[in-house]
Amino acid sequence: MRHSRNTLLVATTLVALSTLAQAQQCPTLPPVEVTQALPAPSGAPDTGPVLRPTPTVPTPRLLPAAEIAASPALRRITSTGAKVYEIGNRAMNHGLQGVYAVNGDIFRVFYLTPDGQALIGGVLWTQDGHNVTRDTIAPIKGAIPTVTITGAKKAASGQASAPLDATTLSAEQVKRVAQANVGLEGQDGLPRLTMVIDPLCPWSIRALNTLEPFVARGQIQLALLPVSINDHENNNASTPAATALLSAVPHEMKATWQKIIDLHHVADDMPRTDEAALHLQQNMAIANAIGVPGTPTFIWRDKAGASHVTEGLPEDVERLVRELGR
């Protein structure tokens, strides 16, 4: 996450990115957490999102005008009509006040600094990788979209059709993907799942952790396709990290990535070659050619031989693995 000057935190930065509402990804544009418009409770005035209590997380609290007036940062956010809710509490948020700002049909999550002068936009993670933000916005209906692989239907050929949330690649796009520079984890000859990653994207890291057991059991070969899209959020740290991955030989890329994950940045002694920098440019062009909206994005071939793209890690990962063809 990144500290921002409160003069830049205007409600008009709550930009709708509809393609990102379907997945848990680091987007190719500055990150916002978005959702569809949320109706008011039946019989109640339209004051914001529909809230539902949970047994362990406080229901988000609409901040009163007096509390907003006391904070220059909150005043700036609400100056163009955004409503703000407190999410969680300071104990859950490690001493910070969580703020859910909603303006029309989109929202963004911030954390207010103790002096009330500035906001930190983004997702709050614990040191062991737990997503605190996800917990605290869970009481808000529709705030946590998921990607679900639906039940497959039998096609005329007898093969299962692709999940409805996947986009089928053209022959030209498949050709471009085959030219990508990737790292390989797992045995050759297994069904391959290609994951487009930014090495410093939290969602990419979480997806790796989710998929590693499938690699270890010999169910898939995971192909890592590095790009750098998160430089705007990490002070240009993604590009050297991605270049370091592409400087490793394919079967050592994952080990290099794990070192970067452990350090939270690329180490000074990690090789970063000119050839790898060129490979990164090629990967970025390929990602653009197939319309990658963020990381992780998955490229996979089904049992009928058709190739598809899925945005974000599906909720039913086992189903995706079963759909993979060789």
Q: Does 173 have pLDDT greater than 60?
A: yes
Domains of the chain: 2-137 (3.10.450.70), 167-323 (3.40.30.10)
Instruction: Give the pLDDT of residue 129.
Output: 60
- Distance of alpha carbon 230 from the chain centroid: 11
Of 43-57, 211-225, 301-315, the least confident: 43-57
* HEC per residue, 5-49: CHHHCCHHHCCCCHHHHHCCCEECCCCCCCCCCCCCCCCCCCCCC
Q: Which structure tokens are listed for 322?
A: 């079963």
- CB contact at 8 A, 199 and 257: yes
Give pLDDT tens digits for 233-246. 788 899 999 999 99
* Average of per-residue pLDDT values in the chain: 78
What is the distance between the alpha carbons of residues 43 and 33, in angstroms, rounded to a whole number? 28
Instruction: Give the pLDDT of residue 128.
Output: 63
Nearest by Cα to 230 from 260, 267, 200: 200
Q: Does 257 have pLDDT greater than 60?
A: yes
| More confidently predicted of 316 and 199 | 199
Nearest by Cα to 258 from 185, 188, 171: 185
What is the distance between the alpha carbons of residues 79 and 65, in angstroms, rounded to a whole number? 12
Instruction: Give the pLDDT of residue 140.
Output: 78
Q: Does 98 have pLDDT greater than 50?
A: yes
What is the distance between the alpha carbons of residues 120 and 229, in angstroms, rounded to a whole number? 20
Query: pLDDT category, 141, cuts 50, 70, 90?
Result: low
Instruction: Give the pLDDT of residue 106.
Output: 65
pLDDT, average across residues 256-267: 93
Determine if the pTM surpasses 0.85.
Answer: no
Give pLDDT tens digits for 29-57. 443 333 333 333 334 344 444 444 444 77
Instruction: Give the pLDDT of residue 324.
Output: 93
Query: pLDDT category, 144, cuts 50, 70, 90?
Result: low
DSSP 283: H
What is the distance between the alpha carbons of residues 301 and 317, in angstroms, rounded to a whole number? 15
Of 3-12, 118-127, 258-267, the least confident: 3-12
User: What is the secondary structure of 69-110 as a DSSP string?
Assistant: HT-HHHHHHHTTT-EEEEES-TTTTTTSEEEEEEETTEEEEE
pLDDT, average across residues 135-151: 57
Instruction: Give the pLDDT of residue 2.
Output: 36
- CB contact at 8 A, 86 and 97: yes
Run of H or E residues at 183: strand 183-185
Q: Does 4 have pLDDT greater than 90?
A: no
